[in-house]
Structure 1
Amino acid sequence: MSIWWSLHLRREAASVPLARRLLVGAMETAGVDPDISYDLSVALSEACANAVEHGGDAAANESSAAYRVTAYLDGEMCRIEVADSGPGIPARKGRAALQQAPDDAESGRGLCLIHELADHVHVVNRPGRSGVVVSFDKILKWRTDTPLLAV
Structure 2
Amino acid sequence: MSIWWSLQLRREAASVPLARRLLLGAMETAGVDADISHELSVALSEACANAVQHGGDRSEVYRVTASILGDMCRIEVTDCGPGFPDGAAVPMAEPRELLPGGRGLRLIEALSDRLRIGNQPGSGGAVVTFDKILKWREDAALLRAS
Regarding TM over 0.5, the answer is yes
Aligned to 2:133: 139
8 A Cα contact 1:78 1:139, kept in partner: yes
Question: Following the alignment from structure 1 to structure 2, what is the Cα–Cα distance between the partners of residues 55 and 66?
Answer: 8
Question: Following the alignment from structure 1 to structure 2, what is the Cα–Cα distance between the partners of residues 114 and 108?
Answer: 12
8 A Cα contact 2:89 2:117, kept in partner: no
After superposition, the Cα gap between the structure-2 partners of 1:143 and 1:3, relative to the gap in structure 1 and judged at 3 Å, is: same
Question: Following the alignment from structure 2 to structure 1, what is the Cα–Cα distance between the partners of residues 16 and 113?
Answer: 22
Question: Following the alignment from structure 2 to structure 1, what is the Cα–Cα distance between the partners of residues 142 and 89?
Answer: 42
**Structure 1 residue 149 displacement after superposition:** 2.6
- Percent of aligned pairs with the same amino acid: 65
**Structure 1 residue 104 displacement after superposition:** 8.3
Question: Following the alignment from structure 1 to structure 2, what is the Cα–Cα distance between the partners of residues 38 and 125?
Answer: 27
Question: Following the alignment from structure 1 to structure 2, what is the Cα–Cα distance between the partners of residues 17 and 121?
Answer: 21
After superposition, the Cα gap between the structure-2 partners of 1:10 and 1:119, relative to the gap in structure 1 and judged at 3 Å, is: same
Residue-by-residue CA offset, 1:49-73 (whole Å, 9 max, x unaligned): 000000112xxx4xx2110000001
Which residue type is aligned with residue 79 of structure 2? D
Give the unaligned 5+ runs of structure 2.
none
Residue-by-residue CA offset, 1:88-141 (whole Å, 9 max, x unaligned): 2346xx652432454784300000000000000111136x94211000000000
Question: Following the alignment from structure 1 to structure 2, what is the Cα–Cα distance between the partners of residues 104 and 113?
Answer: 12
Aligned to 1:73: 68
Give the unaligned 5+ runs of structure 1.
none
Question: Following the alignment from structure 2 to structure 1, what is the Cα–Cα distance between the partners of residues 89 and 7?
Answer: 29
Aligned 1:41-120 pairs, distance under 5 A: 41-57=41-57, 61=58, 64-90=59-85, 96-100=90-94, 102=96, 105-120=99-114
My pick for the range that moved more, 101-110 or 136-145, is 101-110
Question: Following the alignment from structure 2 to structure 1, what is the Cα–Cα distance between the partners of residues 7 and 65?
Answer: 6
Question: Following the alignment from structure 1 to structure 2, what is the Cα–Cα distance between the partners of residues 72 and 85?
Answer: 21
Q: Say which SS state the counterpart of residue 98 (structure 1) adopts.
A: coil
**Structure 1 residue 146 displacement after superposition:** 1.4
Which residue type is aligned with residue 68 of structure 2? L
8 A Cα contact 2:84 2:118, kept in partner: no
